[in-house]
Every structure is written in C-alpha cells, then in structure tokens.
Amino acid sequence: MLGLVLTAAVIAVTVVCLARLVLQRGQRGDTARTDSSVDVAHALMAVGMAAMFLPDLMRLPAAVWAALFIANAAWMGALALRRRPAGTYLHHVVSGLAMAYMFAAARSHEPNPHVLSLSTAHSSGHAHGAVAVVEAQPAGFAFPLVAWVLMIYCALSAGFAGTNLLRAPPTCHDRPAPRLTAVTELVLSLSMAYMFLTTL
C-alpha cells in the first residue's frame, strides 16, 4: 500500500518539477524566482525515482542513470563551492550520489547458474556430462553498510522536509512556493528511504 502511495506521489512530483522547469525557462537573472540548478536536480531525481517505481515503463540502463546522477552531483558540488548558503547544494550532492549508488549497486533476484560435472558409467565405458544448477542470488546492495547510511540520511532528510513544510509560509518574496519545495523534498527523500529499506 505504501509503495502505491509513494509511486503516485513521485509521479505527481515529477510532473510538478518538469512543469516548474518549463515555467522558469523564460525567466533569467533577478526575474527567476527559483534556482534553476536545484530545479533540475529535483526534476532529475523525480524522474529517476519514477523509473525505480515503474521500471517497465522507463527502460534505461542502470549505468546511464548512475552516470547522470554522478554528473549532477559533481555540478552541485561545484555550486556549493561558489554559492552561499552551500547546504542546499551539498544536500543534492549526497542525494545525487545516493541515487547513483541505488542504480549501480542494487541487485535483484537473478538466477546464478552453476555447472556441475557428473560422470555416469555405462557398459561400453565412461561418459561424462554436465548439469546446470540454478541458484537464486538474493536481492540487496553490493555494499549494505553504505546503503544503510544513505537510507538513514534520506529518512532524516524527509523529517527535516516535513518540519520545513509545517513552518514554511505559502509564499515568499524570493521563492514562489516554499511549501511546494518542502513537499518535493519530503516525497523524494521518503521515497528514497523506502526504496533503500525494501531493497536491503
């Protein structure tokens, strides 16, 4: 049930993030009311989470997704060095690396064939044969400790986003909808924590 709710929430957030990018496209400089880099990070993460929840509809190699999030994390890291406050950008660095790890290190239940060599005796001599034994590999991550750390970070991030949602005013002079940003962070962080927890 929770998975279905988060899937619907991620799809809604994806639509909102993409719409925000389109609306902000014609605004530049002081007229732009949001940071376009953060908007891109949100949109990319939302699309990536949608791909996680709906893998059959969004077929793209995991390596491509990982490369996209690593590139975005590097860009946000560069912005963190040049802009203040840097906390928002550093958060997206960690989130981007978490998404890259999720795509690159996640393992599903896949058959792992083992070939056993058998020998059978016949009246005319000896004949050797091979039998393939299929063993299912458990789902999980290549480095579980890293996944647990990232899952805890995402859960804490969701908690902070929920707090910001309760405290944020409907509008602000430099941001059109602080509550919308908080909802976006809440849904994405909670979805990432859920994905980590269910895959561990």
Task: Label each residue of 49-92 as H, E or C.
Answer: HHHHHCCCCCCCCHHHHHHHHHHHHHHHHHHHHHCCCCHHHHHH
* Rounded Cα gap, residues 111 and 83, in angstroms: 48
Per-residue model confidence as pLDDT tens digits over 94-113: 999 999 999 888 766 455 54
- Residue 4's pLDDT band, with cuts at 50, 70 and 90, is confident
Indicate whether 185 pLDDT > 70.
yes
Indicate whether 135 pLDDT > 50.
no
Q: pTM higher than 0.85 for the full model?
A: no
Cβ pair 189, 158 in contact under 8 A: yes
